[in-house]
Amino acid sequence: MKKITFYSFKKSLLTMAAVMGCVSLSYGQEAVEASYDDFGKPTAATDGNKHWQTKGEVLNVVNVAEESPLTFTPEGSAGYQAWDNSDNPILVYPGGASFDLKVTYDKDGWGCLTVFLLRSGVTPSADDKIFGTYDGNWISSGDNNNLYNSISAAAEEGVTVSSNDRTVSFPITIPEDMTEGQMAVVRFIICKDAASENKPYDGTPNTTTAYELAYCDYVVKVVPKKDYGSVTLVPVATEQGSAEIQSYDEATSSWVSASDLSRVEIGTELRVAVTPAEGYSVSSVMKNATALTANEEDGCFYFTVDEENIAILVSFQVASSIDRVESQNVYYNAGEAVLYTADAQRVEIFDLSGRVVMRAADVASVDVSTLNGGVYIAVVDGKVVKFVK
């Protein structure tokens, strides 16, 4: 269960005059990208008590980004008449999204409740109402639950209410035609429809006429759907050294061991940290068919995840000279297409994608004539030879 926390409104007197510009478009016109402030900021100029909404949960999500923040701890003071999470919005993918928004009111409450869905590029209006208006109050210190009763009696599809735990759940649908960069606002308006005060609620999401008015905004942003790839580190001979793929941890500002390489966002930068054993040095670090170059500052091998499947192959050589490896009777004879191994107990041959293409055991040579032409890496009892077929 993922949760969000809505702003806790404190009861106080407030005078607020904040008129924000809106994009002058009507339904049917082409939607344009706009920031939250451009299309939806409340414009109330009313006096009265503020109302508080203390808890919210986002449930049963469909097409909501995995990395989307669903937990919020709003901050503010009595000077706020509207809370919004526009700096840290819920992230959804193009093509439409849906979720249940379950809200809890657990303090003294008053007034009618209306829920709107606003969208960037469209001037807010009464036509944006998706639930309500529900008349009535609820009071935590007493048994007055007539607003809950009003919501229950309305029997709107998908809306559920519980006076026992003081919650109401609303099904929210983000339109399919919203594109990347556009934003939507689920707006709760709570106000006292007091005709006797000559300030009745006019039914609009940016009302300035209602008596004792409060806003609570839940901001949503459409973001590109992300692609992912997998990264595999081909095992290295432990007697020759070690290798580790690392990712950058923003929280600690440091490189740490990558926790999950089976699902890495395309565009992510990773690095290979290599530690040769005594007497060995790094021969090569390959990303599929591409040789990586060591960074001059830290000696690590940096690369970007830009393919669906990536294999990292680290090869070591005897530190003094590769000739020492060949002198131990591990070498490739191109004319014969034979890899001589001097009674090797184990032989594995890799292509440059990191895939094992041939294995042998307890052999003095390996016939590689069946392999396609290309560059290969042979690991022979821990010794490494790169050869061209």
Residues 51 and 188 in one domain: yes
Average pLDDT over residues 257-266: 87
pLDDT at 192 over 90: no
Residues 103 and 249 in one domain: no
* Segment 46-104, tens digit of pLDDT: 444 444 455 678 889 999 988 887 766 545 444 445 667 788 888 999 999 999 998 87
Q: How far is CA 347 from CA 65, 330, 361, 377, in A?
A: 45, 11, 6, 11
Residue corresponding to tokens 């001589």: 340
Q: What pLDDT is stored for residue 329 in this prediction?
A: 62
CATH of the domain at 73: 2.60.40.10
Residues 210 and 281 in one domain: no
Average pLDDT over the chain reads 76
* Three-state DSSP state, 280: strand
Q: How far apart, in whole angstroms, are the C-alpha atoms of residue 359 and residue 349?
A: 6
Most confident of 9-13, 36-40, 270-274, 289-293: 270-274
pLDDT at 159 over 90: yes
pLDDT at 263 over 70: yes
pLDDT at 162 over 70: yes
The DSSP symbol for 194 reads: B
Q: How far is CA 84 from CA 45, 240, 270, in A?
A: 18, 56, 35
Q: Is the peptide bond before 133 cis (omega within 30 degrees of 0)?
A: yes
pLDDT at 140 over 70: no
Report yes or no on 297 lying in a domain: yes
Which letter, b or e, does each residue of 343-380 get, where b requires 16 or more Cβ atoms within 10 Å of its Cβ? ebeebbbbbbbbeebbebeebebbebeeeeeeebbbbb
Residues 260 and 119 in one domain: no
pLDDT, greater one: 195 or 32: 195
Q: How far apart, in whole angstroms, are the C-alpha atoms of residue 91 and residue 70?
A: 9
pLDDT at 343 over 70: yes
Residues 313 and 335 in one domain: no
By percentage, how much of the chain surpasses pLDDT 70? 74
Domain region containing 76: 36-222
Residues 214 and 162 in one domain: yes
pLDDT, greater one: 234 or 336: 234
Residues 210 and 296 in one domain: no
Residues 83 and 213 in one domain: yes
Report yes or no on 17 lying in a domain: no
Residues 203 and 289 in one domain: no
Residue 302 identity: Y
Q: What is the pTM for the complete model shown?
A: 0.56
pLDDT at 255 over 90: yes
Q: How far apart, in whole angstroms, are the C-alpha atoms of residue 271 and residue 287?
A: 11
Residues 43 and 150 in one domain: yes
Q: Are 317 and 377 in contact (CB under 8 A)?
A: no
Q: How far apart, in whole angstroms, are the C-alpha atoms of residue 187 and residue 167?
A: 17
Report yes or no on 269 lying in a domain: yes
pLDDT at 246 over 50: yes
Average pLDDT over residues 222-232: 87
Q: What pLDDT is stored for residue 33 in this prediction?
A: 55
Report yes or no on 99 lying in a domain: yes
Most confident of 14-18, 80-84, 173-177, 277-281: 173-177
Mark which of 188, 222, 256 sits at the end of a domain: 222
Q: How confident is the model at residue 300 (pLDDT cuts 50, 70, 90)?
A: very high
Mark which of 222, 249, 269 sits at the end of a domain: 222
By percentage, how much of the chain surpasses pLDDT 90? 19
pLDDT, greater one: 202 or 72: 202
Most confident of 9-18, 91-100, 364-373: 91-100
Mark which of 222, 241, 267 sits at the end of a domain: 222
Average pLDDT over residues 214-238: 86
Q: What pLDDT is stored for residue 130 in this prediction?
A: 95
Report yes or no on 371 lying in a domain: yes
The DSSP symbol for 89 reads: -
pLDDT at 324 over 80: no
Report yes or no on 383 lying in a domain: yes
Report yes or no on 184 lying in a domain: yes
* Segment 90-128, tens digit of pLDDT: 899 999 999 999 887 655 555 788 999 998 888 888 999
Residues 201 and 64 in one domain: yes
- Domain count along the chain: 3
Average pLDDT over residues 226-235: 88
Q: First-to-last CA distance in the chain? A: 55
Q: How far is CA 287 from CA 234, 251, 296, 315, 322, in A?
A: 11, 27, 18, 12, 22
Other CB atoms within 10 A of residue 46 CB: 20
Average pLDDT over residues 185-203: 74
* Three-state DSSP state, 151: helix
Average pLDDT over residues 181-192: 84
Report yes or no on 278 lying in a domain: yes
pLDDT at 32 over 50: no
Q: How confident is the model at residue 131 (pLDDT cuts 50, 70, 90)?
A: very high
Q: What angle do CA 260, 264, 270 make, to 5 degrees?
A: 85
Q: Which two tokens stand for residue 148?
A: 């809950």
Other CB atoms within 10 A of residue 231 CB: 24
Q: What pLDDT is stored for residue 248 in this prediction?
A: 92
Nearest CA to 39 out of 122, 97, 131 is that of 122
Residues 190 and 275 in one domain: no
